[in-house]
Amino acid sequence: IQLTQSPSTLSASVGDRITITCRASQSIDTWMAWYQQKPGRAPKLLISKASRLESGVPSRFSGSGSGPEFTLTISSLQPDDFATYYCQQYNSYFGPGTKVDIK
Amino acid sequence: QDQLVQSGAEVKKPGSSVKVSCKASGGTFRSYGISWVRQAPGQGLEWMGGILPAFGAANYAEKFQGRVTITSDRSTSTAYMELNSLRSDDTAVYYCARGREGVFDIWGQGTMVTVSS
């Protein structure tokens, strides 16, 4: 199963609402996770089972979708959110990543 | 608090092998899987494979089949990833991660492996 993400880069400002899309080459039900990674750091799990927010993750993050298409939304971008985001099929491959940088 | 602590940086020659360790604390080894993920400089995350230490069963990404071996030692709560026939494009940070019902919720600090003649 291949995962694609769009966009590959997203330039945004603090306070913006942003959405990242991940598409699987075939249906994976809701077996999708999202991670945030900052330079020089290990990835951090944000969302599991497509929409389940991990403990301690701010509520401005949300996930949705099933089957082949999923989205990660940040409702109001904060300075700490500028990072690269990856989708992942459970126990398996990652998408290519979306870098969120400052406009 | 559960955590994963990896071995230190390695510099290897092309054609050689590297073995990276990942020591788990807490109940990780009894109840969870351990996976390995690598990241080449400036590139994305690449899943390599994983193991269920309670059973010793490993599975591998197709790309690495035949070149990587993932093992675990329950007596020391340590998982290992050995990569053979190293090439320059294997230069990367290698992470271990705890697999909790299919997601990777705790990560090691990463081990830099440099392949250079």
Residue A1 pLDDT: 85
CB contact under 8 A, B103 and A48: yes
Greatest alpha-carbon pair distance for chain B in Å reads: 41
Q: Do B103 and A92 touch (CB under 8 A)?
A: no
Residues of chain B neighbouring A35 (CB-CB closer than 8 A): 45, 104
**B59 pLDDT higher than 80:** yes
Can the peptide bond before residue A7 be classed as cis, meaning omega within 30 degrees of 0? yes
Query: How far is A61 from B27, CA to CA, in rounded Å?
Result: 29
Judged by a CB distance cut-off of 8 A, whether residue A48 touches chain B is yes
pLDDT at B38 over 80: yes
**CB of B104 closer than 8 Å to CB of A45:** yes
Task: Tell me the C-alpha distance between A18 and A22, whole Å.
Answer: 14
Give chain A positions within 8 Å (CB) of B95: 42-43
Write out pLDDT tens, residues A42-76. 999 999 999 999 999 999 999 999 989 999 999 99
Higher pLDDT, B25 or A76: A76
Comparing CA positions, the residue from B16, B58, B89 lying closest to residue B49 is: B58
Alpha-carbon distance of A22 to A51, in angstroms, equals: 13
pLDDT band at residue B60 using 50, 70 and 90 as cut-offs: very high
Report the pLDDT value the prediction gives residue B1, as an integer from 0 to 100: 80
Please indicate if any CB of chain B lies within 8 Å of the CB of A26: no
The chain-wide mean pLDDT, for chain B, equals 95
Lowest mean pLDDT among A57-66, A85-94, B25-34, B77-86: B25-34
Whether A96 contacts chain B with CB within 8 A: yes
| CB-based contact B102 A91, cutoff 8 Å | yes
Residue B99 has a pLDDT of 93
Q: Which residues of chain A have a CB within 8 Å of the CB of B104?
A: 33, 35, 43, 45, 88
> How near does any CA of chain B get to the CA of A35, in Å?
9
Residue B29 above 80 pLDDT? no
pLDDT at B28: 74
pLDDT tens digit sequence for A8-46:
999 999 999 999 999 999 998 999 999 999 999 999 999
Among B33, B47, B110, whose Cβ lies nearest the Cβ of A94?
A: B47
Question: Residues 4..43 of B with a Cβ closer than 8 Å to A: which?
Answer: 33, 35, 37
- Arithmetic mean of pLDDT, B23-39: 90
